[in-house]
Amino acid sequence: MKSLSALEISYLIKEFEFLINARIDKIYVPRKKEIIIQLYASSKGKYSIKIDEKSFYLTEYKPASETPSDFCMYLRKKLGTARLRKIHQLGFERIVSFEFETKSAKFELIAELFSTGNIILTKNSKIIVAAEYQNWKDRTIRPNESYNHPKKDYNFLELKITELKKLLSETKKENIVKCLAIDLGLGGVYSEEACLTAEIDKNKKANELEENEIKKLFSSLEELKSKKISPRSVYKNNEIIDLVPFELKFYSDLKQEHAKTYSEILDSYFSKGVSIKQKEKHQKQIESIQKIIDEQKQDIERLEKEEHENKEKAELLYKNYQLVSNILSELKEISKKHSWKDIKDKLKDHKLIKEVTPAEKSIVIELK
């Protein structure tokens, strides 16, 4: 499943600028770490932001109506009809901050899109509530705790060439591409792209780069920050392998499908997955219900058959009531003087009594 990289988040945020000052219309929480915020932007209409563990984007998907969770009700209570004042990325991390303002307070809804993900509401940098309370080695996500997010040594969006030189000389990663991907937080694809654009061997050791190569690499990194947005889905063997906000040399040999906005391809990709999951879930529910119906039909048929048989037995018994009553009375008297084993031997050729079970002290009578 696609996870947004820090660089992709920075580009996606640019698409949300038109929603600044939009008012919250409704909040949904379809599942534990998923939230849909419906906003109304004056003269533009309604838009929905979907946030989950790995991504956020504008969506056309509408959640099914369900009883809201406590988390959902709390967000509705606190944010109400608040206005969205700012959307920004925290450092160069996979963390997005949505700043909201009500008539009496300011809140920050923070989406952590790394690890297992989380959605956290803060006020004055203090945690009020979170989709999931977590304990990390160096930070805690719980009410009344100060919110502290993880920070890298270098912020790619503000990187200077002197910092790049320092990073390349001090990294413990085995080559350039891993240094950029991990130490700088670019991720594999965009680190490969930087090396391709700079025409540098990605497997070369970082501390072995010449001065001119460092300059070319820095220029390539600067270019990654200011690309023209041109969202596209990338295909391999007719399967989507990536969703990117701009054209990449790294994918130049693969089939690509363009879209107007990055949110559009993200929504199409993820909502399709949601539809498939819902269809599978509904199909399982249908199959389960059908199984119950089939079992109930079988029970009804069995009961109807038993009812018919019992009715016939009852009518036959009623018809021969005096005869059966006489046999039972005689048997009762005989059993006072003889054992049931003896009775069985004596009745083995009886015209009506077809079976005697001494252990149960019972007989089977055949009536016609």
Mean pLDDT of 282-304: 70
> Is 306 inside any structural domain?
no
Q: Is residue 286 part of a domain?
A: no
Span 222-258, pLDDT tens digits:
999 999 999 999 999 989 999 999 999 999 999 999 9
Tell me the CATH number at 13: 2.30.310.10
Residue that terminates a domain, selected from 113, 141, 169: 141
Q: What is the CATH number of the domain that holds 194?
A: 1.10.8.50
- Strand segments (E) across 42-183: 45-51, 56-58, 83-89, 95-101, 106-112, 118-123, 126-130, 134-135, 140-141
Mean pLDDT of 261-283: 67
pLDDT at 118: 96
In a domain, 270, yes or no: no
Q: Helices in 27-160 by DSSP H: which ranges?
A: 70-79
Give the domain-ending residue among 217, 244, 264: 264
Residue 125 has pLDDT above 90, yes or no: yes
Look at residue 240 and tell me if it is in a domain.
Answer: yes
Assigned token pair, 314: 């009852």
Q: 279 falls in which pLDDT band (50, 70, 90)?
A: very low
Q: Are residues 15 and 134 in the same domain?
A: yes
Of the listed ranges 72-76, 96-100, 193-197, 287-291, the one predicted with least confidence: 287-291
74 and 26 within one domain: yes
pLDDT, greater one: 273 or 363:
363
In a domain, 297, yes or no: no
User: Is residue 122 pLDDT above 60, yes or no?
Assistant: yes
Are residues 341 and 257 part of one domain? no
For residues 87 and 279, which has the higher predicted lDDT (pLDDT)? 87
Asked if residue 135 and residue 20 are part of one domain, the reply reads yes
Residue 304 lies in a domain: no
Residue 281 has pLDDT above 50, yes or no: no
For residues 270 and 255, which has the higher predicted lDDT (pLDDT)? 255
The Cα–Cα gap between 161 and 336 comes to 114
Residue 126 neighbours by CB under 8 Å, 6+ apart: 144, 145, 146, 147
101 with 221, same domain: the answer is no
User: Helices (DSSP H) in the chain: which residue ranges?
Assistant: 6-14, 70-79, 161-170, 176-178, 188-198, 211-225, 262-319, 321-334, 340-346
> What domain count does the chain have?
3
In a domain? residue 276? no
Provide the percentage of residues in the chain whose pLDDT is more than 90.
67
What is the spatial distance between Cα 237 and Cα 234, in angstroms, rounded to a whole number? 10
- Other CB atoms within a 10 A radius of the CB of residue 2 amount to 16
Asked if residue 314 is part of any domain, the answer here is no
Strand partners, 233: 243, 257
- Reference 5, options 95, 120, 101; nearest CA is 95
Q: Same structural domain for residues 131 and 170?
A: no
Ranking 146-155, 245-254, 280-289 by mean pLDDT, the lowest is 280-289
Name which of 133-142, 157-166, 191-200, 348-357 the model is least confident about: 348-357
Q: Is the pLDDT of residue 297 over 90?
A: no
For residue 287, the model assigns a pLDDT of 58
- State the residue for tokens 């915020």: 37
Please tell me which residue, 162 or 287, carries the higher pLDDT value: 162
Residue 274 has pLDDT above 50, yes or no: no
Tell me which residue has tokens 């993900």.
117
Alpha-carbon 82 to chain mean position: 27
Q: Which of 62-71, 237-246, 275-284, 310-319 has the lowest mean pLDDT?
A: 275-284
Model pLDDT, residue 276:
37
Residues 113 and 39 in one domain: yes
Q: What's the whole-number mean pLDDT along residues 130-158?
A: 94
Looking at every residue in the chain, the average pLDDT score rounds to 88
Clarify whether residues 219 and 325 are in a common domain.
no
Instruction: Looking at the structure, tell me whether residues 26 and 136 fall in a common domain.
Output: yes
187 and 130 in a common domain: no
Domain with 118 in it: 6-141
Q: Which of 249, 264, 279 is the last residue of a domain?
A: 264
Least confident residue range of 178-182, 229-233, 352-356: 352-356
Q: Over the stretch 67-97, which tens digit does the pLDDT of each residue have?
A: 889 999 999 999 999 999 999 999 999 999 9
Higher pLDDT, 293 or 254: 254
Model pLDDT, residue 285? 58
- What pLDDT is attached to residue 65? 67
Q: Binning pLDDT at 50, 70 and 90, where does residue 179 land?
A: very high
Q: How many CA atoms lie within 13 A of 49 on its CB side?
A: 26
Q: What is the pLDDT, as a whole number, of residue 275?
A: 41
Are both 54 and 115 inside the same structural domain? yes
Flag the least confident range among 107-111, 202-206, 297-301, 349-353: 349-353
Local structure of residue 218 (DSSP, 8 states): H
Residues 217, 182, single domain; the answer is yes
Least confident of 91-95, 147-151, 199-203, 348-352: 348-352
Least confident of 17-31, 103-117, 285-299: 285-299
